[in-house]
Amino acid sequence: MIGRYLKVFLPVIAVFMLLAFGVSAKSVFASQNPGSISICKIIIDQNGNVVDGSQASGATFAINGLSQIFNSGEGPGGVLPNTSFATPLTLNTKILSTSNGNDASCVTYHNLATGDYFYSQESISGAGSWATPKYNDQFDHSVVSLSDFFSYDNRLFDSDKSNDDARNKNADGHIILQVERPNRTLVVLNQIQSSPTSGGGQSLSGASAPSCPTNGPQQVDQVWFSDIKPGSVTVHWANKGDAAGFHIQYGPSANNLPWGTEVGGGANSVTLNNLPAGDLWVTITAKQSADCGGPTTSPVKVSGGVGGGQVLGASTLAETGVFENLMLLLAGFGVLSLGLWQTQKALQGKSK
């Protein structure tokens, strides 16, 4: 009799253990590797216009991940993969507030542990003549316009520890992923060089840091939403009165914020319209001036999404890990049903 019931219930027990292990393993993996780093490239021509680099087709840009040189105590971190771009770029992301469409090509590395990551200066080979690259990993200065870029500051790597704290932490080859800030973006700006033309334009090689106020505004610390309805939501924030304006950036995920709008320094709300159904994430930058960015909030999610949410296909479910759990759950129900059927047959056999 014991052997019969073991035969009946052992598959059911095994499936429940498999489900429990799968869910707990995915939870542990997600909690230990919650981060992402995006590396993006913007190219401008000699007049400061954003282009895809077609006029210098065949150029290759490479940024290498570097071995860790110290531990900030935020976690184990890791080594970034080597990243390369080639002209013409495939523009897949909007970063600049003045752009009407995508202006950057981005590669994103997911499932990264919190901690320290280091990146090299960019190397350029192939076609074209290029100005020295500019960088911004947005440690405390967001990229909003072409003035928000800096020369690479290598003082972290020069073996002189006394000058480490004086470095520009927005372009120092160092990115820290933190639990409270697990997603970071490094943007590299390149300008095609040529002889000066009449009328000129914004020059990448002519200046280093932008001419921005030394005392920037305070970071927005409160963001909330109202009037959430299909295709529309009103965003509110605590205006501390010291920002020249606000840049609201929004999109379907915390790592994908392709849309943006600008409001004046006296505003504390804005209504976003023509939104697609699904999740919506928002960040708010308190700007130093019309052309300079400032501190930016972490992405904030609109609770419940906008317009009732999206219908997830199998590929989307697979990306989020829901697909695997769903398959395990269906398998468990199948075996459970089989076990119950076998139990019924066994009880019927006993009663005869």
Helices (H), the chain: 2-32, 314-320, 322-351
Instruction: Assess whether the previous peptide bond of 133 is cis (omega < 30° from 0).
Output: no
Return mean pLDDT, the chain: 79
Q: Pseudo-torsion of CA 265, 266, 269, 271, nearest 10°?
A: -80
Average pLDDT, integer, range 262-277? 89
Q: How far apart are CA 55 and CA 242, in angstroms?
A: 42
**Are the C-beta atoms of residues 156 and 113 closer than 8 Å to each other?**
no
Pick 309 or 186 by higher pLDDT: 186
Helices (H) and strands (E) in the chain, counts: 3, 18
pLDDT of 18 above 60: no
245-251 β-sheet, strand order: 259-264, 245-251, 281-287, 300-301
Percent of the chain residues topping a pLDDT of 70: 72
Q: Phi, psi (5° rounding) for residue 323?
A: -60, -45
pLDDT of 311 above 60: no
Beta bridge partners of 285: 247, 296
Percent of the chain residues topping a pLDDT of 90: 44
Give the pairing type, strands 245-251 and 223-229: unpaired
> What are the residues whose beta carbons fall under 8 Å from the beta carbon of 144, sequence distance 6 or more?
96, 97, 247, 285, 287, 292, 293
Q: How far apart are CA 155 and CA 153, in angstroms?
A: 6
Average pLDDT, integer, range 199-205? 42
pLDDT of 250 above 70: yes
Q: How far apart are CA 262 and CA 240, in angstroms?
A: 17
pLDDT in tens, 21-35: 554 444 444 456 789
Q: Which of 5-14, 25-34, 107-116 has the highest mean pLDDT?
A: 107-116
Residue 47's Cβ-side half-sphere holds a number of Cα atoms within 13 Å equal to: 6
pTM passes above 0.75: no
